[in-house]
A = this chain, B = another copy of it.
Amino acid sequence: MAAAEAAEKGRESLDPLIWKACAGSGVRIPPVGSLVYYFPQGHAEQASAAPDFSSVACDRSFFLCTLVNVQFLADPDTDEVFARMRLEPRISAPAPPPERSVVEDGEGKGDGVASFAKVLTPSDANNGGGFSVPRFCADSIFPPLDYSDDPPVQSLKILDVHSTQWDFRHIYRGTPRRHLLTTGWSNFVNGKKLVAGDSVVFIKNKFEELFVGVRRTARSGGPLDISGYSAKPLIDPPTPFSRAAKRGANSGSGEGFSRNCRGRVLPEAVVEATTLAGLDHPFEVVYYPRVGSPEFVVRKEVVEAALRVPWSTGTRVKMAMETVDSSRITSFQGTVSCIVQHSPPFSYSPWRTLEVTWDEADVFQTVKRVSPWQLELVSATPQILTPYPAMKKPRTAQNQELLSDGAGPSTFFRMSDFSTMVMESMSPPIFSHNIFPAGMQGARHNPMCVSSLSNFLPDITLRMYPEKLNSNNSLPTTSHVSTELSIGCASQSGSLSPPSQNSIYYYGSELFGNAAVNNSSNVMNSSLRLFGTTIHIGQPVIADDKEGCNNNAVSVRPYSISFPYPQRQFHDDPPQGLPFVET
């Protein structure tokens, strides 16, 4: 069984609310009983080495399943939380029982659970045993201090995910006054082997009991490469989860666990799960929630809704991401720069098929390729205020060469089986849209405007995604539109509006929680900047993984990086430039 790989890990389930707080509020575990899609590619991203799928007879790259069981667990060595999910493949899709999962629901704060995460600064992790407690954390999570004392001080008893108690001295001192954890903190840092960049999560439940969780950063020394997934040459060398380093001081110096962002799951477990799924047998998967490791078990409705959207190069999108302190959700905006086609056996997978150039170039570029359901459309009708001089010659010819490469014309999603499933489960009204006339191939290659990717869709894809084509004609948008100067080619007005703003939001809120809804509204009511790319503007590109859309070609050119996100005022980003995704 797949369970063997984590056989001795995580004896008992955690309180789901505590688990969720440790995992981060952005993590969505579908409710038990719901219909989900399982994506082996996403599973493989969590493996310590590249799984060898050559033995898998089935060539499907996603599997419709019923989620029959979820265990909320924690790694005994690293304290990282993970979920073990039992899945039963479903050929046909019976009506899913309407059930809601605590973890899928929004904040969990309504349950009296509050949490605060902080990325450890070098001072927190290295120096003489002190931890700077952000004021918000002290005020909202810790019991109130008696400020009539001088200095105000108290002892905190905090349980970790293994119910081991840690004692900390919480003191409010210094000039100016600040909250600190002193005695006990050093023990904790050593015991948990924390380094700068790791996060601690302080959690208070409705009984005012305190808990502490840990999120590990991948050890610095190499950028976290999660930009894309290629089935062949998975980068990381196998890092066995060795428990060595119990030797004397002279020998090994290891910490006893890997900090690799992969490495928690055995490659064999992925292959096994995929094999079992292909045989329509029940199987188990283990999911470690991490920023940059999106869920690979996703609600059926979420996936299918996302695939109804007419994603194309130049589409303006936004992606919700929780702040590092897990207190809020922020949206980041960008432009679809590339439609990725994976290598076999995942040619037909929608997993991470959209490559996005993010507006905030510095912090977000490491997550370049995302899956459609991670994105929301930005409902903007951008006004092209100034023509942008093309820095490079439009590569129309080259892209057409690319299209004619290989075996036949590339398609957006060539997954006929998936499409079939999508269509089976579609609600009738969606089918009532008009079919957009085909035959637009190569119609307008104006660098100032974006042709829909559907221009390149062959007939079969048009038949499979009728509503996508139709949506290209639906308008108008109701969102506020930025009046800031926009550089480059934004999506053409009227050609990118989502078919149904409501349906997008519905699933978006499913995916990202209620906070995301509120936040998205905020963003929509805020100013909106748009960036373009110099190359792929107006040119839908279907790129193979190996060929790729490398950054040289995409060439992001931010014009202005000041952007008033009111939501970020309480962020706990470490100031020394740790990549956002590592927190």
Contact = CB atoms under 8 A, between A and B. Distances in A.
A285 B162 CA distance: 37
A521 interface: no
Contact of A248 (B191, B249, B250, B251): B191
A190 B248 CA distance: 7
Contact of A164 (B162, B166, B192, B251): B251
Interface string A162-193: 10111100000000000000000001101110
B250 A166 contact: yes
A188 B243 contact: no
Contact of A187 (B76, B77, B160, B250): B250
A187 B250 CA distance: 8
Nearest to A243: B243
A151 interface: no
Interface string A232-269: 00000000000100111111000010000000000000
Interface residues of A, number: 21
Contact of A243 (B167, B246, B250): B246
Contact of A247 (B191, B243, B248, B251): B191
Contacts of A246: 76-77, 243, 256
B243 A187 contact: no
A192 B246 CA distance: 9
A192 to B, nearest CB: 6
Contacts of A243: 243, 246
Contacts of A162: 247, 251
B256 A166 contact: no
A248 B79 CA distance: 11
A250 B164 contact: yes
A76 B190 CA distance: 24
Give chain A's interface secondary structure class.
Answer: loop
B192 A248 contact: yes
Contacts of A167: 250
Nearest to A160: B248
B77 A248 contact: no
Contact of A190 (B187, B191, B249): B249
Interface in A187-219: 187-188, 190-192
Contacts of A190: 248-249
A250 B77 contact: no
A164 to B, nearest CB: 4
Interface in A402-442: none
Contacts of A77: 246
B256 A164 contact: no
A77 B251 CA distance: 13
Contacts of A250: 164-167, 187, 191
A181 to B, nearest CB: 14
A304 B537 CA distance: 93
Contacts of A249: 187, 190-191
Interface in A255-299: 256
Nearest to A248: B191
Nearest to A190: B249
A327 B192 CA distance: 46
Interface in A529-546: none
Most B CB atoms within 10 A — which of A165, A188, A251?
A251
Q: Among A76, A246, A248, find the residue whose CB has the most chain B CB atoms closer than 10 A.
A: A248
A184 to B, nearest CB: 8
Contacts of A166: 248, 250
Among A167, A187, A192, A247: residue with most chain B CB under 10 A? A247
Contacts of A248: 160, 164, 166, 187-188, 190-192
A160 B250 CA distance: 11
Nearest to A77: B246
A284 to B, nearest CB: 25
A166 B248 CA distance: 9
Chain B CB count within 10 A is highest, among A164, A167, A190, for: A164
Given A164-B251, A191-B249, 4 more contacts: A77-B246, A187-B248, A191-B248, A191-B250
26 contacts: A76-B246, A77-B246, A160-B248, A162-B247, A162-B251, A164-B247, A164-B248, A164-B250, A164-B251, A165-B250, A166-B248, A166-B250, A167-B250, A187-B248, A187-B249, A187-B250, A188-B248, A190-B248, A190-B249, A191-B247, A191-B248, A191-B249, A191-B250, A243-B243, A243-B246, A246-B256
Give the 10 A-B CB pairs with smallest separation, nearest first. Answer: A191-B248, A164-B251, A187-B249, A191-B249, A166-B250, A164-B250, A164-B247, A246-B256, A165-B250, A164-B248
